[in-house]
Amino acid sequence: MALWRVIRSPSLVLMLKFPLWDDTKPKRPSSLPILSNSSFITPSSFVNVSIFCILFSRCAISSKVMNLKDAERRILDDPIVRLVTEEASKHKVRLYIVGGAVRDHILGRPHRDYDFIIEGDPYHLLRSLGIFFETKYFPLGRGEKVYRLVKGGKVLDFSTLSGKDIMDDLSRRDFTINAIAYSPQYKRFYSHPESFKHLLEKKLVLLSDRAIVEDPLRILRAFRYKATMNFELSKELKEEIYKKRELLKTVSRERILMEMEEIFLGEEVSQALLMMAELHILDVIFPEMESLRNLQQGENHIRDAFEHSVWVTILALKLAKEGKVIRFSQDPKDLLVIGWSALFHDLGKPETKTTEEEEKVHFYGHEVVSKIKAEKIMDRYPFPSDIKKRILLVILNHMRPFQLIKTGFSEKSLRRLAHEMGEDIKSLLILSLAETEEKGKEEEKTLLLELSRKILDLVEKENISHPPRLLTGKDLLQMGFQPGKYMGEILKKITQLQIEGVIKNKEEALEYVKKNYSPTQED
């Protein structure tokens, strides 16, 4: 047996079908004031229900069922939410958990970020939470009352209410899927009429045509949702992004970099990057890439330099994340080295393009120019210095595996490459394999796989990147050598021969010095 209930508000009517015995009313904490009239949904209304959201003459219908009861349980069982709610109630402050945190609880996704809205003075609540978490809150931005607490990898943001009530606040958010709030005190959901429908459909829709103007970073956020949750961008959203893409130039580079990193790490990065390329987003945030468009690369390539760079990035990240061809670390830093190296590896091609007889195209030395241009980009954006150094190393050397398979490779040459690349030898090999995959060169791919196997066999057997020292200055002093440049040259030569596999132990090193150097020889 079931009945229909209509919960009305000035802007929204919800028709809910639910079992008669679930007709329970939410309990109101006695210490809190009564909420003003606004749209709300009680979780019990969503047990075995069909949902119809009607906004004036518009009707959004979903044939699927969204179980908000489970979502509510996850929210209320969350220790962070439970603690913050208890403290808010003590201080007689209305509290809502909003946006991505609610969305992820509904979808059953893990998360580390929490967004709360506070009605009233936040000072005493934030001070109390700071004492409990043994940390201090700090303001974000200018002119906006947004505060942050960070503890143990969790990020808690607190905002004061914008507008006259929670529904007014939600109307100012980015996408319909984020226009959702939950009151753990009143045990009610609040949302835009189509929020749950779009969540079920995995569809991204802007709340208003002002959303991107108010915060252009929402452009990249849309692609992050595509990469991390595989949400589809509506046609209208794509059009808005394309028209307003230049507004990204007004966004802080730190925020842009953070969104790009999340995109690279997402499972659906391929679709996100292809869409960003199609809508000319990459050209805006990295102007150095624009000259790669329509740059033809000759008979060895099927795409222009821009499309090639995007596809190599997609394939390199795929190879790294799958770990089937080369076992690769899933540390986010290592994956980001792969992603950025691939995206920037051919930036120097426009300046180095030459065409010989029979229309043969060459890009001699483009890796050097690519490194210079990539370094300029990374000087503009706040790349960590260690990541930046690693990316530049891979870019500078990305042609070496191809040169080795063309000229033939010895164990010495493989050892030298492995030593110089250090921890990023796998990144280099994966980038080379991705390039070959993109070009569709099967013979070249076979040779690169053989080269990769031999290098990795060597690396697994011994520490080529940082080999233990066979000789020290003290050893040479005992042989009668004097401190100075000459002694340094000897030690450097021994290390080089050790890396190449010519000398394997201390006895062989001492024997080599005796045969090739004399203590009486002058510097």
pLDDT in tens, 438-461: 988 889 999 999 999 999 988 888
Q: What is residue 145's three-state secondary structure? A: coil
pLDDT of residue 480: 86
pLDDT of residue 257: 97
Q: Over the stretch 283-336, which tens digit does the pLDDT of each residue have?
A: 999 999 999 999 988 877 889 999 999 999 999 999 999 999 999 999 999 999
Using an 8 Å Cβ cutoff, are 391 and 344 in contact?
yes
47 versus 380: the higher-pLDDT residue is 380
d(CA 382, CA 110): 27
Q: Over the stretch 133-173, which tens digit does the pLDDT of each residue have?
A: 888 888 876 556 788 888 888 899 999 998 889 999 999 99
- pTM score of the predicted model: 0.80
- Count CA within 13 A, CB hemisphere, residue 216: 16
Lowest mean pLDDT among 95-99, 106-110, 180-184, 240-244: 106-110
Position 119 pLDDT exceeds 50: yes
d(CA 499, CA 36): 75
Full set of structural domains in the chain with CATH? 2-61 (no CATH), 68-212 (3.30.460.10), 214-279 (no CATH), 286-306+314-466 (1.10.3210), 473-516 (no CATH)
Tokens of 1: 């047996």
pLDDT of residue 144: 61
pLDDT of residue 65: 56
Average pLDDT over residues 210-232: 96
**Of the candidates 89, 70, 51, 98, which has an alpha carbon nearest to the alpha carbon of residue 196?**
51
**β-bridge partners, 58:** 55
State the pLDDT confidence band at 466, using cuts at 50, 70 and 90.
confident
**Of the candidates 239, 242, 321, which has an alpha carbon nearest to the alpha carbon of residue 279?**
242
pLDDT of residue 255: 94
Q: What is the DSSP letter of 119?
A: E
Q: Over the stretch 398-423, which tens digit does the pLDDT of each residue have?
A: 999 999 999 888 888 898 898 889 89
